[in-house]
Amino acid sequence: MTAKELREKLAALRKERKGLFAKMTDGYKEEDVSAYEDKAKEIHDTEYALTEAERIELDDRLDESAQRVLEEGNRETITDAEQRFLKAIRDAVSVGSTYTGLIPSTISSEIIKKRESFGKLRGRCRRISLGGDYTIAIDGDQVTAEYVGEAAQIPEKTPGMGKVSFTAYKLGVLVKVSEEFMADVAVDAIAWLVENISRAFAKKEDTEILKGTGSGDSHITGILTSVTGNAITTAAADAVTLDEIKRLIGSMKDYSTGAVLIMNSSTKTEISLLKDENGQYYFPPQTELTSIQGKEIITLDDVDAMGAGKRAIVAANLSYYQIVDRQGMKLTVLNELYAETDEKGIKATERLDGNVLRPEAFRVLVCKAA
């Protein structure tokens, strides 16, 4: 087989692998992952059979192609910093050295962008990036205006003030890669890093924003931890009514504008099946339920399903939840952790904190205790 034929064969195999990669990342079905791994092995076996001269010529061609195309995202080239970064990662993986450093800003920005598209809560929260501890002052009791008689003194009002302090907690992602995978072209490596790290951070942040314990040195403070009251209790232990949901929304008062309803997917299903006294569905059964009284529904399985004493629905104005981001994402290659399986661990970390600014901007529908 000529060098040209080898290039064409490998190009076709990589094109198939990219298609499998795109399919694999849309749900992570076992058969898609298996197909991708089989194709990656076929590419590896093909490259392994090359002579030294063929390998040198093909490596030159691959360096050129890596600079031309980055299929994940809108960019068509990869920067010098990204090439150096990926080379450092591949070298660390292949020879067993250690790489520790910040992810280049261009890759980090892609991860951050995808993290917000995968995540359901962060994009709706108030966010700030800074270094050092941070304290924010918030209004307490509101000042009210009053009528004043002629020549009478205007009554003095002193508003109550509160404060919320923020520190930094480390959130990490650890993923395994094979040496064969990291030897592949830069385009796939960048796409894989961006996809997996951003998805993992997004899922964990959703969980922590909702129910982070705020305890010790390891957790931000979630909504359900900070808001222990502000509850409306249902009449039944295992069901909710449309009237109860409306009362939950109404209890938010001035904070209802821009609020969302966060619930378990099973709760959303049960609500979509609610009927009136004539047996008619409240919501069109042929369409997906996306909102109630203009309040968007967000499904997170971190919220309890309906059950005795469970907090089944959270009405939240997330503009009153503050996220404080710290340093850029940091990436470390762990060379010994998976040595027996000829794999390496890639660990990404970020530092952040989060907390509720005004508890009254959050309300909870609690199922009746048994």
Q: Residue 66 in contact with residue 85, Cβ under 8 Å?
A: no
Interval 243-254: pLDDT, tens: 999 999 999 999
Enumerate the H helices of 212-260 as residue ranges: 223-226, 242-250
Whole-number pLDDT of residue 90: 65
What integer pLDDT is reported at residue 315 of this predicted model? 96
Query: What is the mean predicted confidence (pLDDT) over 181-209?
Result: 73
Distance of CA 47 to the CA centre of its chain: 36
How far is residue 203's CA from residue 283's CA, in Å, rounded to a whole number? 29
**DSSP-based three-state secondary structure for 309:** coil
The CA distance from 313 to 148, in Å, is 44
The pLDDT assigned to 260 comes to 96
Contact 319, 126 (CB under 8 A): yes
9-13, 51-55, 176-180, 321-325: range with highest mean pLDDT: 321-325
Regarding predicted confidence, which is higher, 368 or 116?
A: 368
d(CA 315, CA 253): 11
pLDDT one-digit tens code per residue, 255-312: 999 999 999 999 999 999 999 999 999 999 889 999 999 999 999 999 999 999 999 9
- Residue 309's contacts (CB-CB under 8 Å, 6 or more residues apart) are 237, 366, 367, 368, 369, 370
- Report how many helices (DSSP H) and strands (DSSP E) the chain contains, helices first: 10, 14
Contact between 212 and 226 under an 8 Å Cβ cutoff? The reply is no
What 3-state DSSP class applies to 215? coil
Provide DSSP, 46-89.
Answer: HHHTS-HHHHHHHHHHHHHHHHH---SSS-SS--HHHHHHHHHH
Under 8 Å CB-to-CB from 125, ≥6 apart: which residues? 209, 318, 319, 321, 322, 323, 354
Tokens found for residue 338: 């998976």
Q: Which two tokens stand for residue 54?
A: 């063929």
Instruction: Report the pLDDT value the prediction gives residue 13, as an integer from 0 to 100.
Output: 79
Q: Ramachandran region of residue 132, left (φ > 0), alpha (ψ -120 to 50) or beta?
A: left
Which two three-digit tokens encode residue 340? 């027996």
> Domain map of the chain by residue range?
3-120+174-209+329-341
What pLDDT is attached to residue 159? 47
What percent of the chain lies above the pLDDT cut of 70? 57
pLDDT at 78: 59
Which stretch of 121-125, 145-149, 322-326 has the lowest confidence by average pLDDT? 145-149
- Confidence at residue 161, expressed as pLDDT on a 0 to 100 scale: 45
Portion of the chain with pLDDT greater than 90, in percent: 29
- Identify the pLDDT of residue 214: 81
Q: Is the pTM of this model over 0.85?
A: no
Give strand pairing partners of 24: none
Contact 77, 85 (CB under 8 A): no
Bridge partners of 348, per DSSP, are: 173, 331
CA-to-CA distance for 357 and 105, rounded, in angstroms? 30
> How confident is the model over 314-348, as pLDDT tens digits?
999 999 999 888 766 776 766 665 556 656 667 77
Q: Pairing state of beta strands 295-299 and 260-263?
A: parallel
Nearest to 268 by CA among 220, 212, 306, 219: 306
**Greater model confidence, 154 or 121:** 121
Task: Note the pLDDT tens digit of each residue in 21-78.
Answer: 666 555 556 677 677 667 767 776 776 666 666 665 655 444 444 334 333 444 445 5
Whether 95 shows a pLDDT value over 60: the answer reads no
Which residue did the predictor score with more confidence, 197 or 141? 197
10 Å CB burial of residue 324 (0-12, 13-18, 19+) is: buried
